[in-house]
Structure 1
Amino acid sequence: MQVTETQADGLKRAYRVVLPASELDAKAQTRLTELKNQVQLKGFRPGKVPLAHLKRMYGKSVMAEVIEQAVTEANGKLVEERGLKLALQPRVELPQDEAEVRRVIDGADDLTYTIEVEVLPKIELGNFKDIAIEKPVAEVSDAQVDETLARLADANRPFAEKAGAAETGDRVTVDFVGTMDGVAFEGGTGEGIQVVLGSNSFIPGFEEQLVGVSAGDARTVTVTFPEAYAARELAGKEAVFAVTVKLVEAPGAFTLDDDFAKSLGQDSLDALKEQVRARIAQEHGGVTRQKVKRALLDALDGMHQFDVPPTLVSQEFEGVWAQVQQDLEAQKRTFADEGTTEEAARADYQRIAERRVRLGLVLAEIGERNNIQVSDDEVTRAVVERARQFPGQEQQVWDYYRRNPQAMASVRAPLFEEKVVDFLLELADVTVKPVSREELYKEDEEKAA
């Protein structure tokens, strides 16, 4: 094998590889010898087929198989001998000229091909003990617990049948059939659907038009689906619902006491309060984790500046950009509506893609150097948790991940990242900063607005 480097531009490398015809022919002869004891040809006893006859019959197919295997082995040897750490699978270009290909397969010419690769950059890791991070922590107040309990009570408020017209706050049970231009549409039909008037849980305008109905009434409700409606085929369109009212109920009184707590599966009101407090604390902790991790990644990004494989960045950008365009289309918005231009947005998301790739490489390097690993048991537990999110379909979800290595890798990757983050936070200077609930959620709420 002869290897000549033809390009060394940044992280890109290209090589011209020559595999001698004599070497390929020797491999083909070995393969034909193996076939001699395997094939059965009319007129020949097993194992007695002349090699020359086998070569006439199977020579071309055997040489094609030998070439494929030889190229794979040569590429592996090239990467190993030159100590290359590949960012992506190599791009191999074999001869395209038909006459040249024929001469190679016939064993008359050497095989000459090119291989292009992108390599991972050498990463000089910074001193993680120099990283200083503030950890915002919000305590759960009694007022927050009481507020959550009030919402729970309101959601579980009893209703009792009433005579007369429905008012805001009442619950009506309805059947309805929705149409567009006189044609029923998918998802527009419902039976025995309960609607609390004023809850804003239905399409805007639907609940308001049911105020004043009584049991047995029929009413036509005309609404327009929001521009950002999840079902894109319905977004922004007008629909007419033929509604039949089956029942009208008025909200009853409720008392926050032990009986109410027991109706929710708790032993007492105090036990319910502790459960609510723990859940709020868990939510606060999730936001704290997000902010600490974001600060850590910002610090890592500032400490590590190096060129990243362009194809990895391109792939990351294409994924991000496709999602941006899909979101804009779903919301029927433009870049102008977002206060920017497509060119400026592309530049911004290009920088985001580069940052993501760079941080991914840094985290991978840290994990490798410090032997941070995710066990198969940890991956299995994560898949089980995902499967539990689909009641009744657990087996199908489990089978999907078990049979799909790429999907399984998508489970392992975030587990690995969180382990590396935990490792770094042990080394960094992390200072707890007590904050209010409003301060803790402020940035996230602003981004969501």
Structure 2
Amino acid sequence: MQAQLETLGQLERRLDFAIPSADIETAVDARLKRVARTARIQGFRPGKAPMKIVAANYGLQVREEVLGEQVQTAFASAVQDQKLRVAGFPRFEGKPAEGDAFKFSATFEIYPEVVVGDLTAVEVERPVLSVTDAEVDKTIEILRKQRTRFDRVERAAEKGDRVIVDFKGTIDGVAFAGGSSENYAFLAGEGQMLPEFDSAVVGMKEGDTKTFDLAFPADYQGKDVAGKTAQFEVTVKNVAGATMPELDAAFAKTLGVEDGSIDALRAEIRKNVEREVKRRLTARGKEAVMQALLDVSPLELPRALVGQEIGRLIENARQEMQQRGFDPKEMPFPPELFEEQAKRRVSLGLILAEVVRANNLQAKPEQIQTIVAEFAESYEHPEEVVKWYYASSDRLEGPEALALEDNVVEFVYSKAKTVEKQLAFDELMGQQA
């Protein structure tokens, strides 16, 4: 079979090829004979209908099937001969038959040649943070605050009290959207409300009502009221003082330390904090490495691959909305919202594959085993989690991908100008990772 390749663009190609008519007819006849053995045609016993009748009933369907299969086979053979890597799905077009052959053309994109740039000229930050007693103490305080009890008090509201209020805001005597609420709870003086609102409520008692002016900042998120001055009327309905639990055996037991040992509690918290710090440091460092790879390895991307990735992202968004209780049919998902993310993911996929291939960075079994063990560590019965992962090779794909990414990260660190960046605990833990 002869095939002619034409370059239409940087990645777009068109392949013209022909299939001998005799090959089509031979395949159609062979398939019709197989169909005839079991064909059920009215007036004939199964398998006894004349070939002419079988052809009249099934010939068109069989010919379409054979043509489709022959086109796919011929295209695959031509692509292999031309040593092309097809990205996405080709678009086939039939042409008028000439002589003793059926002619077709396939338009498609190919994968780009991935050339990873010079990593030695790149500076990559490697975030570091050591967990000390101070971080453990801070985490314990957070846990105590999370378990704060609020009890009603008959005094004026103070900073840190939980207050429940009714309020109504107006601008030039007219109520505005979001400016009114009933039984609204917040912590006084903790920055949950605008400063003027906070300062007005601090010092009020249950049953007190106050009217005051509040100037919305010019950059306030509510554009309709930004830069304007509103008048608020607030009524305090409840003031509750905060009581944090003591750091004692009872508190330790609420966190799963059966014997109530404070030392055991601190050891467990340190282990958990170290695990979370490691996870976030890894995520942040990985992000820096991936950006470095993108910066030094610009790519022309096949539109087909980007389109497929956009489709996957939209489907993931639909599923997430459904899990949150929304009807995804009522939510618009414009493809352009996902285009940049899709391009980034496709680019990284191609670049990572080339880095792994060129430098033999495939994940090793012991790496996968370590990652699975780390996953399992946070569960009550880690051995059962490990068994679950190793019960199916499909379940190991996630840990294997993480191990592969870790190998790429370490490889880039070894080649690039790596600069350690000391992070503050609050900075790291405040970042969504």
Give the TM-score category using the shorter length: 0.5 to 0.7
Contact 1:374 1:415 in 2 (8 A): no
Cα deviation for residue 64 of structure 1 reads: 1.8
Normalised TM-score (structure 2): 0.62
Contact 1:88 1:117 in 2 (8 A): yes
Q: Cα deviations across residues 199-254 of structure 1 (Å, max 9, x unaligned)?
A: 44579988777657766789999999x9998xxxxx6578xx99997753222365
Query: Alpha carbons of 1:418 and 1:271: their partners in 2 closer, same or farther (altered >3 Å)?
Result: same
Aligned to 2:408: 424
SS at match of 2:88: coil
2:270 counterpart of 1:284:
no
**Paired positions, count:** 371
Aligned to 1:80: 80
1:24-35 to structure 2, matched below 5 A, reads 24-35=24-35
State the one-letter code of the partner of 1:6. Answer: E
Query: Alpha carbons of 1:112 and 1:207: their partners in 2 closer, same or farther (altered >3 Å)?
Result: farther
Query: Alpha carbons of 1:441 and 1:29: their partners in 2 closer, same or farther (altered >3 Å)?
Result: same
Q: Cα deviations across residues 329-385 of structure 1 (Å, max 9, x unaligned)?
A: xxxxxxxxxxxxxxxxx9xx97x976654432121134456483699xx8xx99xx8
1:368-447 to structure 2, matched below 5 A, reads 368=357, 370=360, 372=362, 412=397, 417-425=401-409, 427=411, 429=414, 436-438=422-424, 441=427
Matches of 1:228 and 1:173 in 2, distance apart?
A: 24
Matches of 2:158 and 2:68 in 1, distance apart?
A: 77
Contact 2:91 2:108 in 1 (8 A): yes
Aligned to 1:58: 58
Aligned to 2:381: none
Matches of 2:268 and 2:30 in 1, distance apart?
A: 72
Matches of 1:248 and 1:149 in 2, distance apart?
A: 26
Matches of 1:92 and 1:242 in 2, distance apart?
A: 70
Contact 1:132 1:429 in 2 (8 A): no
State the one-letter code of the partner of 1:198. Answer: G
Query: Alpha carbons of 1:153 and 1:305: their partners in 2 closer, same or farther (altered >3 Å)?
Result: closer
The percent identity for this pair of structures is: 27
Aligned to 1:360: 349
Select the residue among 107, 110, 113 that pairs with 1:116: 107
State the one-letter code of the partner of 1:372. Answer: Q
Query: Alpha carbons of 1:74 and 1:271: their partners in 2 closer, same or farther (altered >3 Å)?
Result: same
Aligned to 1:335: none
Matches of 1:198 and 1:425 in 2, distance apart?
A: 44
Aligned to 1:394: none
Aligned to 1:144: 135
Cα deviation for residue 288 of structure 1 reads: 2.8
Query: Alpha carbons of 1:206 and 1:64: their partners in 2 closer, same or farther (altered >3 Å)?
Result: farther
2:187 counterpart of 1:196:
yes
Contact 1:86 1:118 in 2 (8 A): yes
2:13 counterpart of 1:13:
yes
2:30 counterpart of 1:45:
no
Cα deviation for residue 110 of structure 1 reads: 4.2
Contact 1:287 1:441 in 2 (8 A): no
State the one-letter code of the partner of 1:289. Answer: T
> Could you list the runs of 5+ residues in structure 2 that have no partner in the other structure?
169-173, 226-231, 315-335, 379-391
Q: Cα deviations across residues 58-113 of structure 1 (Å, max 9, x unaligned)?
A: 22222222222222222222223332222222222345xxxx6xxx7xx9984322
SS at match of 2:424: helix
Cα deviation for residue 287 of structure 1 reads: 4.0
Matches of 1:305 and 1:89 in 2, distance apart?
A: 25
1:228-267 to structure 2, matched below 5 A, reads 247-252=238-243, 255-266=246-257, 267=260
Query: Alpha carbons of 1:268 and 1:190: their partners in 2 closer, same or farther (altered >3 Å)?
Result: farther
Aligned to 2:262: 269
Contact 2:361 2:407 in 1 (8 A): no
Cα deviation for residue 256 of structure 1 reads: 3.4
SS at match of 2:106: strand
Matches of 1:15 and 1:72 in 2, distance apart?
A: 12
State the one-letter code of the partner of 2:34. Answer: E
State the one-letter code of the partner of 2:84. Answer: L
Cα deviation for residue 34 of structure 1 reads: 1.6
Cα deviation for residue 36 of structure 1 reads: 1.0
SS at match of 2:105: strand
Matches of 2:135 and 2:24 in 1, distance apart?
A: 76
Query: Alpha carbons of 1:275 and 1:111: their partners in 2 closer, same or farther (altered >3 Å)?
Result: same
1:212-223 to structure 2, matched below 5 A, reads none
Contact 1:165 1:211 in 2 (8 A): yes
SS at match of 2:241: strand
Cα deviation for residue 15 of structure 1 reads: 0.7
SS at match of 1:87: strand
Identify the range of structure 1 (8-17 vs 36-45) with the bigger mean alpha-carbon deviation: 8-17
Root-mean-square deviation (CA, aligned residues, Å) is: 5.5
Contact 1:137 1:285 in 2 (8 A): no
Contact 1:21 1:111 in 2 (8 A): yes
Contact 2:149 2:244 in 1 (8 A): yes
Matches of 2:122 and 2:277 in 1, distance apart?
A: 23
